[in-house]
Amino acid sequence: MKKILPKVILLLLLACMVSAPALAAAPERAELELVRVGLFYDSTARTETTLELKNGDGYRFGFYDEDRIFQTLGDTDARAVTIVPDQNLSLADGERELGRYHLRLSETYADFEDARKDADAFGGFPAYCNGAYAVLIGGYPSEAEAEAARDAQGLSAEVYTGSGRGVVILMADTAQPIFLFDCGSSYSLTLSPTASSGKTATQCGTYSYCGDFQFARLSGDSLTVVNFVPLEDYVKGVLPNEMSASWPLEALKAQAVCARTYAVMNQNRYRSYGFDLTDDINCQVYRGLYEATEQTNRAVDDTAGELVRYDGKVCAVYYFAADGGATEDSENVWSNAAIPYLRGVADPYEADLDFYCKSWSIAVPHALTGDISVTNTPQGNIMTLTANGQTYQKDDVRAFLRGLGARYTSRRFSVAYDEETDSYLISGAGYGHQLGMSQWGAYAMAERAMTYDQIISFYFTGAYVE
């Protein structure tokens, strides 16, 4: 057997932890060119986010319309900017305060350049408010302070405060406002990095990304941050975070096709947040340019545009670490939908390898569970498990194992009672939900010189790559 080094364990743990979607017969999807990935949202939404160009010359700013087409409103040659809600707040450095009350000059401007010219003359900044350009001056914590500043300067201006959806771009080093965007709930501010050569690369939080960045105030003063990224660049950001870059090229290609197909089939999954997919284990782990290598990028480029299909339609694909000897039918995992290409198959390939979750066991005192009884699927996986008078079905069986403290969980295990210790020994193999493609199986098949399309056709019955 070939021994696999443990450095890939974390990647495959992540792959196994993807939350279970509501499984149903897959509808046809329009193919996707631009993926919207939620980087910070809900409890992780931010009140302050800095973008710093690693490759690029500056930013265009504007918004994406309903057809995912970017509409430009203005630009800056700043390489590092900070985006905040138009609200009274203190910046993270603790030294600078921003206020939500501004002075708005009475003139309305035809375009950004005209607004910027007057903004420079009055020491203000351009704004785009409900479809019109304006010039704003200052940022005051109260209406009274804004009025006092206006009177002191002798300006012909009104006090302006936004809709509660306003977002401001600041110079990162000085906190000087560059632009304010406020179109209510209709559109959200987006920054599109520009580069005179090569692809842009922009650090946002811990990682650097290709593509554009949208900032939406969905509620309160926090910003939901979304990366708008071309599909192929998205797949390049997923692949090395779902499968080790050191694995065989054909296995990487199979993973790339699955990741691309998953994105196409799950577009608009998080519609209420304004994006398609999260960047974490709730969808696919996406880290932008992090850990991408020549090998992983090649796997994506070599399969560019290819999807898993069945009878001409794009498939709903799933993958996990290891099946332990057999995958499972769709109706025996998350729902009752019998999907023709998600059929359980006996898997002889994982036996070629020795890896971290190939086999595992856990001893459980009888007093903790009471009598345990199980039933099996035709593939030999556990269908139901009864303990303490409660019956666990389908994928909930793994939740029972996790509750006992099992590190690796699958439904391919046996239960043996030991009279001497009055305990059960649960002995199992594999890790994950067992629906779709086994990643360790893909590794083993690639080692046998099988191609990525053969790997996919094996795990997705009757499906093909096109």
The pLDDT value given to residue 24: 44
Residue 314 reports pLDDT greater than 90: yes
Could you give the strand order of the β-sheet that contains 308-310, starting from the edge strand earlier in sequence? 313-314, 308-310, 464-465
Give the pair of three-digit tokens for residue 257: 């096709």
Gap between the Cα atoms of 169 and 59, Å rounded? 11
Contact 306, 257 (CB under 8 A): yes
For the record, the structure tokens of 430 come out as: 């594999």
CA distances from 372 to 164, 389, 397 (A): 56, 9, 12
Q: Which residues are bridge partners to 437 per DSSP?
A: 319
C-alpha distance across the termini of the chain, in Å: 33
For the beta carbon of residue 338, count every other beta carbon within 10 angstroms.
Answer: 12
Residue of 305, 326, 357 whose CA lies nearest to 461: 326
Q: What is the dihedral of CA 447, 450, 456, 461, to 10 degrees?
A: -120
* Bridging pattern class, strands 413-418 and 308-310: unpaired
Q: Tens digit of pLDDT for each residue in 414-458?
A: 999 999 999 999 999 999 999 999 999 999 999 999 999 999 999
For the entire predicted model, the pTM comes to 0.93
Residue with tokens 């203190």: 90
pLDDT surpasses 50 at 7: no
DSSP secondary structure of 354-366: E-TTSSEEEEEEH
The answer to whether 143 and 101 have CB atoms below 8 angstroms apart is yes
- Alpha-carbon distance of 418 to 84, in angstroms, equals 62
Please tell me what DSSP assigns to residue 327: -
What residues does each domain of the chain span? Answer: 2-33+232-348+434-465, 46-222, 360-428
| Strand (E) or helix (H) holding 278 | strand 277-278
Share of the chain above pLDDT 70, in %: 94
The pLDDT confidence band at residue 6, using thresholds 50, 70 and 90, is very low
Each residue of 372-423: pLDDT tens digit? 999 999 999 999 999 999 999 999 999 999 999 999 999 999 999 999 999 9
Using CB atoms within 10 A of its CB, is residue 415 exposed (0-12), middle (13-18) or buried (19+)? middle
pLDDT on residue 57: 97
Which residue type occupies 216? A
In this structure, what token pair is assigned to residue 307?
A: 């999807």
Residue with tokens 């990487």: 252
Strand, coil or helix: 288: coil
- State the chain's mean pLDDT as an integer: 93
**92 Cβ contact partners less than 8 Å away, ≥ 6 residues apart:** 48
The residue type found at 324 is G
Could you read off the pLDDT of 245-284 as tens digits, one per residue?
Answer: 999 999 999 999 999 999 999 999 999 999 999 999 999 9
- How does pLDDT run across 73-115, given as a tens digit for each residue? 999 999 999 999 999 988 877 778 899 999 999 999 999 999 9
Report which residue type is found at 204. Answer: C
Distance (Å, whole) CA 119 – CA 238: 42
Q: Among all chains, which residue has been given the structure tokens 């992780």?
A: 44
Q: What is the pLDDT of residue 91?
A: 84
Rounded-to-10 torsion of CA 354, 317, 252, 240: -90
